[in-house]
């Protein structure tokens, strides 16, 4: 069986599937990403958006986000932008539903 590509960096072949801490989801990780405490970008964005933003998350979650940014060569600003986008889409979705109920 061929191992899937790592879902964090999308570059390396994964060494296995691991659970993202605090998120009920398993993803394929390569060794480098596991060692770097890096996690799939979209999982971090989606879960941070669920909390209402990075400032509402726990310190260890922030650390995971910082480590992932560092590992992927992204910035925290990019991350917060993606969270904002996700929060905006969510509120548009919710208000769209409410309109339909009326």
Judged by the rule CB under 5 A, the positions of this chain that interact with Zn ion are 6, 8-9, 12, 30, 33
Q: Distance between CA atoms of 65 and 48, rounded to whole angstroms? A: 9
Q: Distance between CA atoms of 89 and 9, rounded to whole angstroms? A: 25
State in angstroms the smallest separation of the CB of 64 from Zn ion: 14
Q: Please, which residue, 6 or 49, has the CB nearer to Zn ion?
A: 6
State in angstroms the smallest separation of the CB of 15 from Zn ion: 9
Q: Please, which residue, 5 or 50, has the CB nearer to Zn ion?
A: 5
State in angstroms the smallest separation of the CB of 39 from Zn ion: 10
With beta carbons less than 8 A apart as the criterion, state whether 38 and 67 touch: yes
Q: How far, rounded to the nearest angstrom, does the alpha carbon of residue 81 sit from its chain's CA centroid?
A: 13
């Amino acid at each position: 069986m061929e191992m899937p590509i790592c879902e964090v960096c999308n570059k390396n072949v994964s060494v296995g599937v691991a659970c993202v801490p605090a998120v009920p989801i398993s993803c394929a990780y390569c060794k480098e990403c596991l060692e770097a405490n890096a996690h799939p970008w979209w999982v971090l964005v989606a879960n941070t958006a669920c909390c209402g933003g990075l400032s509402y998350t726990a310190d260890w979650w922030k650390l995971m986000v910082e480590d992932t940014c560092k590992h992927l060569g992204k910035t925290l600003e990019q991350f917060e932008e993606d969270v904002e986008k996700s929060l905006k889409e969510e509120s548009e979705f919710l208000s769209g539903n409410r309109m339909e109920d009326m």
